[in-house]
């Protein structure tokens, strides 16, 4: 605990030093110096600021007790401190901001937090370098952490600690600065950390845009995504319900799915049946068509009621025969027209829901024989007509 | 019958399917014009069925998962020997079902979706979809099947008379 107190004091002094440094920075920028120059020239002066480096010896000692840093008692304090520091820094930054037009305030903000945390952990020279890098140059967080990694390579746990702290802060930053982050981050000189900040915040935002949690509903991202998915599924189910006839009356998804499955199966069976029919019928009809194609159909159709299988077909037979003729002649556009002409009268029949289509071989052969007989009659009559 | 009915959109799914299907039908019948044995008829049935599937899938295009799966199936059927294909397909189907059982288990656990696996088998390529996609594809598939049945019935009626 004593070392903690030490650190806290140390951090406070560091805060003062930061303020002084910021003022100094202000001056530098008013002179319009380049940042590289700033970096190179600032080191000795900063060393001057940090005259009492021996104190860091205690800190190094305290570093050997990682439990202190990982303990729950230690961290909140740093958090408090860093927040307070950031507030102070904010005030200062408002002043600095006018001069550093393009500079990202978020950089200072985040960095001041992280750096203040570093203060407690590491010797001040490193920190000074870090802070200076960040404030003087537009270095991404990655670069910073890499440089700090280089310096802090002996104990990686610190790095983890820093990362955890950063995460905490990021969450806090989301809460506090969510509205301001976006504006700030649109600037060119946005640092890596603020980019990450923005990413996370926008990701959360997009979730919130699509799905709104009602009162009493969970708001974490998983349950939000799950809810969105469920809504999507129910929407799809509704559209399916509209497609399948007789599905409107059924309530409950299980029944509805059963109905849909039945319908798809029946449709597939109908396709099978129809292709069977086409396969069985076509050779003879093609032959017949070859024979008939040169003759006059209307007169023939009028004297041929036996070929029509139903009353509906009777009225359509003329058209259909024309259509077949055209099919054999190979003029597809007209055929399509005719086909469409035929369809309006056909649709009630074809769209009717046929639950069971017997596809067993016996009935099929029976049907085939009937058709064959019809075709034979058709052929004969055509032949007679030709002779006559 | 109104005269407006005559103007059929040539780019609609129905007309595209009809065109493709009639073309392939004519090809099939040119190959072996006269054959009445049940074996021949069955073979021709298989061809007609494949032609119907293929022309429907190509009319839909590759924008849909089920049409892609169907085209792939038709291609494989045409290429390899039936026995070989069956064995490979069985293996594949086994693996896929094993794989997807885990995956689809999460979906099917949802209330009232126990029958989703049945629908999965019916919709081509449905084994590899999640539930949401499956329902979407099923809706489109049903629409297209309806069109296919209408057109085929029309053609069959035309030929019978």
* A379 or A30, greater pLDDT: A30
Distance CA B9, CA B151 (A): 15
CA closest to A230 among chain B residues: B132
Distance CA A338, CA A341 (A): 5
Are A313 and B157 in contact by the 8 Å Cβ rule? The answer is: yes
Distance CA A157, CA A154 (A): 9
Same domain (yes/no): A111, A29: yes
Inter-axis angle of helices B82-108 and B65-79, to 10 degrees?
Answer: 160
Distance CA A33, CA A387 (A): 111
Task: Inspect the interface and report whether the beta carbons of B158 and A323 lie closer than 8 Å.
Answer: yes
Query: What is the tens place of the pLDDT at every residue in A69-99?
Result: 443 343 444 444 444 444 444 444 444 444 4
Whether residue A67 lies inside any domain: the answer is yes
Instruction: Estimate to the nearest angstrom the gap between the alpha carbon of A161 and the chain centroid.
Output: 32
Whether residue A297 lies inside any domain: the answer is yes
Distance CA B2, CA A372 (A): 35
CA closest to A309 among chain B residues: B161
Q: How far is B86 from chain A (nearest CA, A)?
A: 20
Whether residue A129 lies inside any domain: the answer is yes
SS3 of residue A305 by DSSP:
coil
What is the predicted pLDDT for the residue at B73?
A: 87
Task: Inspect the interface and report whether the beta carbons of A283 and B151 lie closer than 8 Å.
Answer: no
Write out chain B residues lying below 8 Å of A276, CB-based. Answer: 45, 48-49
Across the interface, of B1, B143, B145, the residue whose CB is closest to A344 is: B1
Whether residue A199 lies inside any domain: the answer is yes
Whether residue A218 lies inside any domain: the answer is no
Burial of B141 (C-beta count, 10 Å sphere; 0-12/13-18/19+): buried
Task: Inspect the interface and report whether the beta carbons of B45 and A279 lie closer than 8 Å.
Answer: yes
What is the predicted pLDDT for the residue at B141?
A: 92
Write out chain B residues lying below 8 Å of A244, CB-based. Answer: 142
Same domain (yes/no): A36, A125: yes
CA closest to A318 among chain B residues: B161
Query: What is the tens place of the pLDDT at every residue in B15-52?
Result: 888 888 888 888 887 776 566 777 888 888 888 888 99
Task: Inspect the interface and report whether the beta carbons of B33 and A229 lie closer than 8 Å.
Answer: no
Task: Inspect the interface and report whether the beta carbons of A337 and B19 lie closer than 8 Å.
Answer: no
Task: Inspect the interface and report whether the beta carbons of A279 and B149 lie closer than 8 Å.
Answer: no
Task: Inspect the interface and report whether the beta carbons of A279 and B44 lie closer than 8 Å.
Answer: yes
Same domain (yes/no): A273, A364: yes
What is the predicted pLDDT for the residue at B142?
A: 92
Winning range, highest mean pLDDT, from A189-203, A258-272, B31-45, B76-90: A258-272
Across the interface, of A240, A341, A365, the residue whose CB is closest to B6 is: A341
Q: What is the mean pLDDT of residues B89-94?
A: 54
What is the predicted pLDDT for the residue at A16?
A: 62
Same domain (yes/no): A206, A113: yes
Whether residue A222 lies inside any domain: the answer is no
Task: Inspect the interface and report whether the beta carbons of A320 and B161 lie closer than 8 Å.
Answer: yes
Q: How far is B145 from chain A (nearest CA, A)?
A: 6
Query: What is the tens place of the pLDDT at every residue in B55-70?
Result: 999 998 888 889 999 8
Q: How far is B89 from chain A (nearest CA, A)?
A: 21
Distance CA A297, CA A206 (A): 67
Distance CA A243, CA A263 (A): 10
pLDDT of residue A375 exceeding 90, the answer is no
Q: How far is A298 from chain B (nearest CA, A)?
A: 13
Same domain (yes/no): A199, A80: yes
Are A350 and A333 in contact by the 8 Å Cβ rule? The answer is: no
What is the predicted pLDDT for the residue at A265?
A: 93
Same domain (yes/no): A202, A84: yes
Across the interface, of B49, B119, B161, the residue whose CB is closest to A317 is: B161
CA closest to A261 among chain B residues: B119
Confidence class for position A29, pLDDT limits 50, 70, 90: low
Same domain (yes/no): A193, A269: no
Query: What is the tens place of the pLDDT at every residue in A32-49?
Result: 444 444 444 444 444 434
**CB-hemisphere CA count at 13 Å for A214?**
2
Measured in degrees and rounded to the nearest 5, phi and psi for residue A26 equal: -55, -45
Same domain (yes/no): A279, A351: yes
Are A208 and A218 in contact by the 8 Å Cβ rule? The answer is: no
Write out chain A residues lying below 8 Å of B147, CB-based. Answer: none
Nearest to A4 by CA among A62, A90, A79, A81: A62
What is the predicted pLDDT for the residue at A263?
A: 92
A151-165: b (≥16 Cβ within 10 Å) or e: bbeeeeebeebbeeb
Task: Inspect the interface and report whether the beta carbons of B22 and A332 lie closer than 8 Å.
Answer: yes
| Across A305-309, A332-336, B4-8, least confident range | A305-309
Task: Inspect the interface and report whether the beta carbons of B142 and A371 lie closer than 8 Å.
Answer: no
Task: Inspect the interface and report whether the beta carbons of A351 and B146 lie closer than 8 Å.
Answer: yes
Same domain (yes/no): A206, A340: no
Q: How far is A283 from chain B (nearest CA, A)?
A: 5
CA closest to A336 among chain B residues: B15
Q: How far is A294 from chain B (nearest CA, A)?
A: 17
Q: How far is A379 from chain B (nearest CA, A)?
A: 11
Same domain (yes/no): A166, A28: yes
Across the interface, of A320, A333, A361, the residue whose CB is closest to B158 is: A320
Confidence class for position A160, pLDDT limits 50, 70, 90: very low
Distance CA A152, CA A21 (A): 23
Start-to-end CA span in chain B (Å): 21
Same domain (yes/no): A205, A296: no
Write out chain B residues lying below 8 Å of A313, CB-based. Answer: 157, 161
What is the residue range of A178's domain? 2-210
What is the predicted pLDDT for the residue at B126?
A: 85
Whether residue A225 lies inside any domain: the answer is no
Instruction: Estimate to the nearest angstrom the gap between the alpha carbon of A19 and the chain centroid.
Output: 44
Does this complex have an ipTM over 0.85? no
Task: Inspect the interface and report whether the beta carbons of A265 and B122 lie closer than 8 Å.
Answer: yes
Q: How far is B156 from chain A (nearest CA, A)?
A: 6
- Where is the domain boundary, A193, A210, A227? A210
Whether residue A236 lies inside any domain: the answer is no
- Where is the domain boundary, A153, A184, A210? A210
Write out chain A residues lying below 8 Å of B118, CB-based. Answer: 257, 261
For chain A, what is the domain count?
2
pLDDT of residue A245 exceeding 90, the answer is no
Query: What is the tens place of the pLDDT at every residue in A104-122?
Result: 444 444 343 433 333 434 4
CA closest to B29 among chain A residues: A283
| DSSP conformation letters of B8-44 | --TTSHHHHHHHHHHHHHHHHHHH-----SHHHHHHH
Distance CA A3, CA A74 (A): 11
Same domain (yes/no): A206, A285: no
* A354 or A264, greater pLDDT: A264
The 10 Å Cβ neighbour count of residue B160 is 21
- Where is the domain boundary, A210, A227, A243? A210
Confidence class for position A221, pLDDT limits 50, 70, 90: confident
Task: Inspect the interface and report whether the beta carbons of A327 and B158 lie closer than 8 Å.
Answer: yes
Query: What is the tens place of the pLDDT at every residue in A256-310?
Result: 888 888 999 999 999 999 988 888 875 555 544 433 333 323 333 333 333 333 3
Q: What is the mean pLDDT of residues A320-331?
A: 42
Task: Inspect the interface and report whether the beta carbons of A233 and B33 lie closer than 8 Å.
Answer: no
Task: Inspect the interface and report whether the beta carbons of A274 and B156 lie closer than 8 Å.
Answer: yes
């Amino acid at each position: 605990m004593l070392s903690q107190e030490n650190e806290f004091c140390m951090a406070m002094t560091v805060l003062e030093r930061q303020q002084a440094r910021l003022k100094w920075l202000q001056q530098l920028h008013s002179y319009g110096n380049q940042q590289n120059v700033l970096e190179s020239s600032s080191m000795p002066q900063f060393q001057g600021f940090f005259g009492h480096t021996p104190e860091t010896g205690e800190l190094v000692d305290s570093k050997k007790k990682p439990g202190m840093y990982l303990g729950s008692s230690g961290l909140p304090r740093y958090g408090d401190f860093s927040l307070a520091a950031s507030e102070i820094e904010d005030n200062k930054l408002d002043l600095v901001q006018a001069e550093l037009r393009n500079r990202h305030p978020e950089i200072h903000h985040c960095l001041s937090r992280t750096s203040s945390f570093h203060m407690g952990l590491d010797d001040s020279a490193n920190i000074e370098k870090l802070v200076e890098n960040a404030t003087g140059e537009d270095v991404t967080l990655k670069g910073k952490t890499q440089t700090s990694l280089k310096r802090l390579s002996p104990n990686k746990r610190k790095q983890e600690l820093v990362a955890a702290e950063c995460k905490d802060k990021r969450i806090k930053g989301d809460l506090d600065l969510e509205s301001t982050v976006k504006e700030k981050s649109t600037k060119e000189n946005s640092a890596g950390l603020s980019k990450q900040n923005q990413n996370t915040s926008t990701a959360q935002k997009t979730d919130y845009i699509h799905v709104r949690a009602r009162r009493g509903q969970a708001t974490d991202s998983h349950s939000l995504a799950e809810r969105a998915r469920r809504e999507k599924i129910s929407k799809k189910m509704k559209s399916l319900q509209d497609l399948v006839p007789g599905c409107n009356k059924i309530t409950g998804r299980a029944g509805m799915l059963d109905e849909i499955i039945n319908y798809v199966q029946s449709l597939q069976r109908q396709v099978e049946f129809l292709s069977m029919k086409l396969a069985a019928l076509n050779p003879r009809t093609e032959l017949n068509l070859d024979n008939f194609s040169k003759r006059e159909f209307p007169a023939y159709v009028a004297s041929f009621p036996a070929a029509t299988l139903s009353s509906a077909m009777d009225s359509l037979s003329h058209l259909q025969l024309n259509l077949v003729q055209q099919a054999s002649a190979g003029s597809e556009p007209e055929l399509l027209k005719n086909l469409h002409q035929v369809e309006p009268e056909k649709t009630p029949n074809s769209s009717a829901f046929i639950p069971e289509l017997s596809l067993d071989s016996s009935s099929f052969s029976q049907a085939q024989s009937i058709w064959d007989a019809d075709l034979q009659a058709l052929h004969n009559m055509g032949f007679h007509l030709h002779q006559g | 019958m109104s005269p407006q009915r005559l103007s059929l959109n040539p780019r609609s799914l129905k007309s595209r399917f009809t065109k493709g299907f009639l073309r392939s039908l004519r090809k099939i019948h040119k190959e072996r014009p006269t054959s009445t044995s049940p074996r021949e008829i069955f073979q021709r049935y298989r061809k007609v069925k494949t032609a119907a599937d293929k022309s429907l899938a190509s009319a839909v295009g590759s924008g849909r998962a089920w049409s892609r799966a169907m085209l792939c199936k038709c291609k494989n059927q045409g290429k390899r020997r039936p026995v070989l294909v069956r064995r490979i397909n069985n293996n594949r189907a086994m693996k896929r079902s094993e794989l997807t059982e885990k995956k689809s288990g999460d979906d099917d656990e949802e209330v009232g979706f126990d029958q989703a696996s049945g629908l999965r088998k019916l919709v081509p390529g449905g084994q590899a979809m999640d539930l949401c996609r499956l329902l979407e594809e099923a809706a489109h598939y049903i629409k297209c099947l309806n069109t296919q049945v209408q057109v085929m019935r029309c053609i069959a009626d035309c030929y019978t008379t």
